[in-house]
Structure 1
Amino acid sequence: MRFRVLGPVRMAPATPSAAKPRAVLATLLTQANSVVSTHTLIDELWGTEPPRTATTTLQVYVSQLRKALLAGAADGRQPLLTRPPGYLLRVAPDDLDLLAFEALREQGRAAHTRGEYAEASRALGTALDLWTGPALSGIPHGPTLESSAIRLDELRAEVLEQRIAADLRLGKHQELIGELKSLVHDHPLRETVHCHLMVALYRSGRQSDALDVYHAARRALVTELGVEPGPVMSRLHERILAGDPHLARHGGPAPTSAVPTTGPSAAAVVRLPAPVPDFTGRTSQLALGRRFLAAAGPGASRLLAVSGRAGVGKTALVTQLAHEAADRFPDGRLLLVLRDAGGRALTPPAVLTTLLRWLRDPVDTAVGGAADTAALEPDEVLHARTQGRRILFVLDDVVSEAQVRPLLAAAPDCTVVLTSRQPLGALEGARHIALDVFRVAEAREFLLRCGGESLRADPKAVAEIARLCGSLPLALRVAAAGLAARPHWSAEDLVARLTDERTRLAALALGDLDVRSGLLAAYREAGVQERLAFRLLGLAPLPDFPLWGAAALLACDLPEADRHVEELVRTQLLEARPCPGRLTPKRYGFHPLLRSLSLELLGAGSPGATERLCRAYLALAQHSDARLAPGRDRLARAVTPPPGIDPLEVVGDAALSWFQEEAAGLLEAVRQAHAGGLWELCFGIASASAGFYEAGAVWDDWELSHELALDAARQADDRQAEAVLLQSLAALDWQRHLAASSLDRYRLAWHLFTRLGDHASAARCLSGEADVVLGQGRVARAERGYVRALTGARAASDARGAAHALRGLALVAVREGRFEEALGRLAECERWARGVGDRRWQEYTARVSRAVGEGAGRAGLPLEVRPGMWLLSSPAGA
């Protein structure tokens, strides 16, 4: 092993001596072959108050690590790479003990599931031999390393417990007693360890010692936690008291079965997890489920299907229903998970066989003994064992309709409640409940129930945690448990760790509670093309995106994009959001945590996809701007949209509606283009959106987009773009009454345009500067500016610039009481506006002309100075 984190952090050939570089190394190793953001590393090293030089200092540490890593690289390649938004450390599976441990753990779990206990013991024991001490020891821990250390130590305990379970299956009970006594001493509250010791002692003929272990464990649980032993330990205690001969056989059921398999008590089999103690909300879904179970029986539906994405609380809901319905199913209530430990779907025969094993004893009475059923097929045996009996089967995590149809046919007298990640609409006669995330109030209540007093003191943070977790129950539980496990954290500390979208899922892992694993399961079951689509669509703007945006990101036409996104919707990886009455009647969006997973899986991103998306936004914005404000954009360099996206089909003549619906996407496209160094796309999108920003008074987006675009223009050394953006920002400053800044920007833009020989744009700057001066009450100077602007616009044949200047001269005439002149100027302005095809300006000149003609100007009433903007000062002589 070249790297070790399962114990003191070590690296060959030489471990860094300083603590902080070792912490950087450890953080990168715990997320080996994945990008770790600079923000995460800074947070790990310095917490919430990093020094001003944190980024530079981190770069020094990375440089030191690179030298050490390169010295030990057998192939001479640098394994530590810069990958936005941080760094990626490439590590081969055999070079890191953590990767080897995880591989052996999976091998052992899979072997245990298959019943190959010797192989399971070997693999799990080898995994444990990799440990040399507490995980990640010998270095200071920040939030990421502390979370990783807790998770790894919990995994170590889990592997140890499973290895012991495999050894018990192999009959090694006597050899295990000493090891288990030591573990019980070190972990007095781990019920599984106590159960293993009880079984080992019982099988060694030490029944009284096994009972003593139970009583000692019970005292510890009651004293320390105020709770009784769980159902597994309690049932094991009962079996030992009863002298259960099946438990005494080393090939018999593991102590976690907790289900009687012989004797009269087997007639009412109960194999359900305990109900969730902090079950919250779901009022309407519980009511539907209760009504179903109350009516289930002959002549009524006997199948209830609960669907929803991973982590949404399906199992908790059906478990709650099953416990409530105990009186209605006196012959048994059984829950079976239809996937194995590795997440693979159980085959229909495996489902039937498992249920038969649970029900084998009652059948001996029902059909005259096991010998009478030996020649029957499993479905025939199950039919015989369930016929006429009131049993509730709870089938958890069903993969498909085909997986459960044989069971439904074999047990027609039983009631079945199942859960699945996607709706199983092809199941005949089923009632359906679609389970979504918590409502806002439910999410907050659930957090408070799980997190206790540490959260009650900060309702604002509770609301933010719920938002960042997307109100997903599993994520909320992990967040609350993380706070409870770290009493030195405040709710605000957790909020800070959840804020970074690309590292949010890492903060939602604690022990065996891992949000990422549940979400990954659905992703891995999708097809190859859908997985690619899932990753790329994470680049789409928030909060949602249209189908054409998906087509641009996926580099396909609209019908193909529709197929991909609808399949992602079907598998609960994407949400369809109907928008009736809007230009785009249906949009798509991610649950926040699924978007985090998408971005995490995408890693360094896809420059090609980002470029296609931004090019689509630019083409559609140019098309829309040309209809909203013809001739406005002096930076309109024609761009071809990605194949399959036709602006006439997407926008048509509904330019304003398109801008309103895509405002958030336009701003995000500017950000992405800037971050990706796509300078021309960045300033092109911003410039093409300026007309909408002005018309709709969308000032914040105007400023944010144009500041990024101005930087992009300067990065590209594009003086024309720089001048256009300065002119637009000057207009924004004027509308915000920032006269000095507006004048400075207009003058700078005018100088740039003049040097470039763009006299039309330079004349427009003169009109803008005159607007500012007029607003300051310097009417004569403003008039001179408008006259110069009109002269320049006419010389350049710039119809829109001429209309601007004439509008300004009309306002000057109104201010001076020259109303006939004002009407003449407005009439000429209207002719120029008509010539350029701008209906908005034509309507504006008509409105102002009516106001002047009717005496509104004489009376000193507000006068519209541009479409949608009003001059509040009174004209001279009023």
Structure 2
Amino acid sequence: MRFRVLGPVRMAPAAPSAAKPRAVLATLLVQSNNVVSTHTLIDELWNTEPPRTATTTLQVYVSQLRKALLDGTADRQQPLITRPPGYLLRVAPDDLDLLVFEALREQGRAAYGRQEYDEASRTLERALALWTGPALSGIPHGPTLETSAIRLDELRAEVLEQRIAADLRLGRHQELVGELMALAHDHPLRETVHCHLMVALYRSGRQSDALQVYHQARRALVSELGVEPGPVMSRLLERILASDPALSWRGGTGSGRPAARPVRDEPVVWLPAPVGDFTGRAAQLALGRRFLHGDGPVPGRVLAVSGPAGAGKTTLAARLAHETADRFPDGRVLLLLRDAGGRALTAEAAVATLLRRLRGEPEPGADGPPAAEPAEPGELLHERTRGRKMLVVLDDAVSEAQVRPLLAALPDSTVVLTSRHALGALEGVQHLVLDVFDADEARDLLLRCGGPAMREDPAAVAETARLCGNLPLALRVAAAGLVARPHWTAADLARRLADERTRLGALALGDLDVRGSLLTAYRDVGVPERQAFRLLGLAPLPDFALWSAAALLDCEPAEAERYAEELVRAQLLEARPRSGRLTPVRYGFHPLLRALSLELLGQGSAAATGRLCRAFLALARHADARLAPGRDQLVEPVAPPAGIHPEELVGVAPLQWFQEESAGLLEAVRQAHATGQWGLCCALASAAAGYYEAGALWDDWESSHELALDAARQAADTRAEAVVLCSLGDLAWQRRQPTAAVDRYRLAWHVFTREGDRASAARCVSGEADVMLGQGRVARAERGYVRALSAGRAAGDERGAANALRGLALVALREGRATEALSRLAEYEAAAGRAGDRRWQEYAVRLTRTVTEARAAARETELGTAPLEVRPGVWLLPAHLAGE
């Protein structure tokens, strides 16, 4: 065996001696034959504070490992390969003790399920013999190795308990007493160990000692955790006190199979212990109670609880089962419809497991197939529950097909189903939908479970809830993580959750793992839907239209809708109806699911990002051309993705389109810049500038154009740089930053002049003239507008000419020449009409009306000192009013 992790981490011939390369090796081994992302390895080595050189240093460690691995490989084939988004270590099944252990564990479980207890005991003992100490010892642990070590130690305990269960079935109770006493001493809170010890002592004729074991375990549980022993241990106490003959050893059959046990008629309780800090869900609990008491709004016997992974469906169902115990005197049983690996149980396996539980046969660690029965399992289950008032919780159902045989075999029982999606094809079912917590419930859970540190910082509580998306499981893990690290503050926790790339890694503690819960939902869908889930993580926040999905998935909108709706059904995506919108239904991610999507996507998303940006560009240009024809100066053709039709998607509501897609458009600028698609970045920012100006969205205007300016310079595209500078000049002018505005206009003018673009240069001159007019330098402004008008007309630029005429009309008004101003406004309106800009035409009409009314009242001289609308929606205060 070449690699060992079940104890100190070792490798033959020898692993690197330094701790961090060995930690990399261990992380790759516990996920052998699977890709481990670079982000995961960096988190493992440096947690949330990696050095600036983390990627380079990791590459050095990988290089050292490759050399060591190659030295011990007979065929000289490198087992450690690069595979985006990280690395993959290929390991043969016999070369890693963990893989051998897992194979033996499965063989032992299967033998136990077949009631071949002798074989099960020997196989499980071979698995335990592989351990040489605590898992993954001898190296520092980051989040992945810490979680893996806990998981592996738990698996070891499970295998040990099942081997003991097999030995008890074989009548080896006297030999087990000493071993079990030692285990009970080392694990005072592990109820299964104490149950085994109680059985071994009872069968050895030591009933009083068995009772003493119960009371010692109960004191430990109450003292340490504040809970009573669970139903299995409590029921075992009752059976010992009653000297239940079924509990005594009755010998075997010679084949390792015990004699058949008589059917028991006493109540069976097989539920998880109640959650002491249960929070929220008052309305849902009330509805569930009414249903289980038979006075719900819809009569029936099946309650289906659905909701996303981590919403607390199992916790709610178990809570209802505990609270309504008096309604079900014949028993309450919970059955998980998945195996330990998250795979769905077949209906047959589920029926068999439920039969065992109803017979009161606790089989720790083994839910394998039952022994052969004289009748069909469904018939036996029906017989077992006929006429009895029982509650059966079928937890985490995958499909209607999985649960139909169970429901048919339980006609007299009340059933609570939990599932990630609504099982709508089932008849006669009352549905109860769980979503994430509201803000108050999220805060209450964090305060209740997070200890004093959480209660001291309300702002950090609110931020933690937001970063967790109010998902109950994530909130519980975050709170538990804070309690487990008393040296942290609530603000420390919030900071560690802030980075979307590492958030899921921070939401894992012991057997609580948000990523694992979300991954189960992801693995339930088909391969095409998984790819869609990964790519849609690139869609803009907070939500996106169907055309965005079509662009990212490179398909027609109808096909994109099919993918999106399938992901909605699987609770991996949210459908968000929006009344009064151009797009009545938009889609969005829960923040933790988006983090998972981007984590799974890894690298290589530039092509999808490019398609999304081209779609945004085609639609933004179309909308901008409807709002302000001829404004955008970067109109070089960029083909939109197939299926994107601007005239259909924007329609006659360009302003509404911009309002709905503004956040996504800005995100598209950022993504284009981040992926080095410089031309798209510049073009997107330029196409949005008109909307930013009309809506006074100065911050978005600035952030998009600063990125575009850098993109133009990265691409050495001087024309794009000049266009962006001119637009930034407009922004500075609107923000009353005259020096910055003039500098940007002049820089842009020089570039346009050098390239012979007289029309664009003239627009820069008009912009500078606007600055002069605002400063009261009217004569200089007039000279600038005259130059711009001449150049615009010479270049055939109707929009530029109209803009200069607007400026000359304003100059005339400032100097009290109302007749000239009206003449210039008439020319401006006509030029705006030829350019096709209705906003400018309406502005000309408004300003003309203002001047005409002032003349009629003999107040035209006041126009030179009054506030003036100098561009559509932009007002200029005279210097004495503006405080200049």
TM-score (norm 1): 0.88
Partner in structure 1 of residue 638 of structure 2: 639
Q: Is residue 424 of structure 2 the alignment partner of residue 425 of structure 1?
A: yes
Tell me if structure 2 keeps the 8 A contact 1:296–1:302.
Answer: no
How large is the Cα RMSD of the aligned pairs? 3.4
Q: Distance in 2 between matches of 1:99 and 1:764?
A: 71
- CA 1:109 to 1:638, structure 2 compared with 1: closer, same or farther past 3 Å? farther
Tell me if structure 2 keeps the 8 A contact 1:110–1:341.
Answer: no
Tell me if structure 2 keeps the 8 A contact 1:14–1:68.
Answer: no
- CA 1:47 to 1:346, structure 2 compared with 1: closer, same or farther past 3 Å? closer
Partner in structure 2 of residue 868 of structure 1: 873
- CA 1:76 to 1:273, structure 2 compared with 1: closer, same or farther past 3 Å? closer
Partner in structure 2 of residue 446 of structure 1: 445
- CA 1:527 to 1:835, structure 2 compared with 1: closer, same or farther past 3 Å? same
Write out aligned runs for 1:181-200 (5 A). 181-200=181-200
Partner in structure 1 of residue 237 of structure 2: 237
- CA 1:869 to 1:251, structure 2 compared with 1: closer, same or farther past 3 Å? farther
How many Å apart are 1:588 and its aligned residue?
0.8
Q: Distance in 2 between matches of 1:753 and 1:300?
A: 77
- CA 1:832 to 1:83, structure 2 compared with 1: closer, same or farther past 3 Å? farther
- CA 1:107 to 1:380, structure 2 compared with 1: closer, same or farther past 3 Å? closer
Tell me if structure 2 keeps the 8 A contact 1:461–1:495.
Answer: yes
The 3-state SS of whatever aligns with 1:72 is helix
How many Å apart are 1:308 and its aligned residue?
1.3
Partner in structure 1 of residue 589 of structure 2: 590
Write out aligned runs for 1:281-680 (5 A). 281-295=280-294, 300-359=299-358, 377-680=376-679
- CA 1:287 to 1:225, structure 2 compared with 1: closer, same or farther past 3 Å? closer
- CA 1:230 to 1:393, structure 2 compared with 1: closer, same or farther past 3 Å? closer
How many Å apart are 1:377 and its aligned residue?
4.7
Q: Distance in 2 between matches of 1:305 and 1:46?
A: 41
Amino acid at match of 1:868: G
Amino acid at match of 1:344: R
How many Å apart are 1:577 and its aligned residue?
0.6
How many Å apart are 1:423 and its aligned residue?
1.0
Tell me whether 623-632 or 208-217 shows the greater mean CA deviation: 208-217
Q: Distance in 1 between matches of 2:360 and 2:181?
A: 35
Q: Distance in 2 between matches of 1:64 and 1:159?
A: 35
The 3-state SS of whatever aligns with 1:663 is helix
Q: Distance in 1 between matches of 2:353 and 2:36?
A: 42
Amino acid at match of 2:866: L
Tell me whether 243-252 or 186-195 shows the greater mean CA deviation: 243-252
Partner in structure 2 of residue 220 of structure 1: 220
- CA 1:789 to 1:342, structure 2 compared with 1: closer, same or farther past 3 Å? same
How many Å apart are 1:112 and its aligned residue?
5.8
Tell me whether 178-187 or 830-839 shows the greater mean CA deviation: 178-187
Partner in structure 2 of residue 776 of structure 1: 775
Write out aligned runs for 1:821-860 (5 A). 821-855=820-854, 858-859=862-863, 860=865
Partner in structure 1 of residue 364 of structure 2: none
Amino acid at match of 1:431: Q
The 3-state SS of whatever aligns with 2:52 is helix
In the alignment, structure 1 segments of 5+ residues that lack a partner are: 253-260, 363-373
The 3-state SS of whatever aligns with 1:677 is coil
- CA 1:619 to 1:791, structure 2 compared with 1: closer, same or farther past 3 Å? same
The 3-state SS of whatever aligns with 1:854 is helix
Q: Distance in 2 between matches of 1:384 and 1:26?
A: 51
How many Å apart are 1:548 and its aligned residue?
0.9
Partner in structure 2 of residue 41 of structure 1: 42
Identity among equivalent positions (%) equals 70
- CA 1:468 to 1:331, structure 2 compared with 1: closer, same or farther past 3 Å? same
Of residues 59, 64, 71 in structure 1, which corresponds to 2:56?
59
How many Å apart are 1:236 and its aligned residue?
2.6
Deviations 1:734-780 (A, max 9, x none): 22222222222222222222222222111111112222232233222
In the alignment, structure 2 segments of 5+ residues that lack a partner are: 253-260, 362-372
- CA 1:140 to 1:323, structure 2 compared with 1: closer, same or farther past 3 Å? closer
Tell me whether 393-402 or 375-384 shows the greater mean CA deviation: 375-384
Q: Distance in 2 between matches of 1:113 and 1:714?
A: 69
Tell me if structure 1 keeps the 8 A contact 2:822–2:848.
Answer: yes
Q: Distance in 2 between matches of 1:123 and 1:654?
A: 71
Q: Distance in 2 between matches of 1:171 and 1:202?
A: 12
Q: Distance in 2 between matches of 1:251 and 1:596?
A: 56
Partner in structure 2 of residue 69 of structure 1: 66
Tell me if structure 2 keeps the 8 A contact 1:530–1:567.
Answer: yes
Deviations 1:675-694 (A, max 9, x none): 22222222221111111111
Tell me if structure 2 keeps the 8 A contact 1:203–1:250.
Answer: no
Tell me if structure 1 keeps the 8 A contact 2:69–2:78.
Answer: no
Partner in structure 2 of residue 367 of structure 1: none
The 3-state SS of whatever aligns with 1:424 is coil
Tell me if structure 1 keeps the 8 A contact 2:44–2:145.
Answer: no
- CA 1:543 to 1:42, structure 2 compared with 1: closer, same or farther past 3 Å? same
TM-score (norm 2): 0.88
Q: Distance in 2 between matches of 1:551 and 1:434?
A: 29
Tell me if structure 2 keeps the 8 A contact 1:110–1:342.
Answer: no
Q: Distance in 2 between matches of 1:722 and 1:836?
A: 25
Q: Distance in 2 between matches of 1:354 and 1:22?
A: 42
How many Å apart are 1:196 and its aligned residue?
3.2
- CA 1:338 to 1:45, structure 2 compared with 1: closer, same or farther past 3 Å? closer
Deviations 1:593-646 (A, max 9, x none): 222222222222433222211111111111111111111111112222111121
Partner in structure 1 of residue 258 of structure 2: none
Amino acid at match of 2:610: E
Write out aligned runs for 1:91-170 (5 A). 91-92=90-91, 128=128, 131-141=131-141, 146=146, 149-166=149-166, 168-169=168-169
How many Å apart are 1:63 and its aligned residue?
2.6
Q: Distance in 1 between matches of 2:171 and 2:498?
A: 50
Q: Distance in 2 between matches of 1:42 and 1:382?
A: 49
How many Å apart are 1:242 and its aligned residue?
3.4
Q: Distance in 1 between matches of 2:104 and 2:554?
A: 40
The 3-state SS of whatever aligns with 2:66 is helix
How many Å apart are 1:65 and its aligned residue?
4.0
Q: Distance in 1 between matches of 2:106 and 2:474?
A: 24
How many Å apart are 1:211 and its aligned residue?
3.2
Q: Distance in 2 between matches of 1:79 and 1:358?
A: 46
Q: Distance in 2 between matches of 1:736 and 1:846?
A: 26
- CA 1:409 to 1:871, structure 2 compared with 1: closer, same or farther past 3 Å? same
Tell me if structure 2 keeps the 8 A contact 1:478–1:509.
Answer: yes
Partner in structure 2 of residue 274 of structure 1: 273
Q: Distance in 2 between matches of 1:138 and 1:873?
A: 76
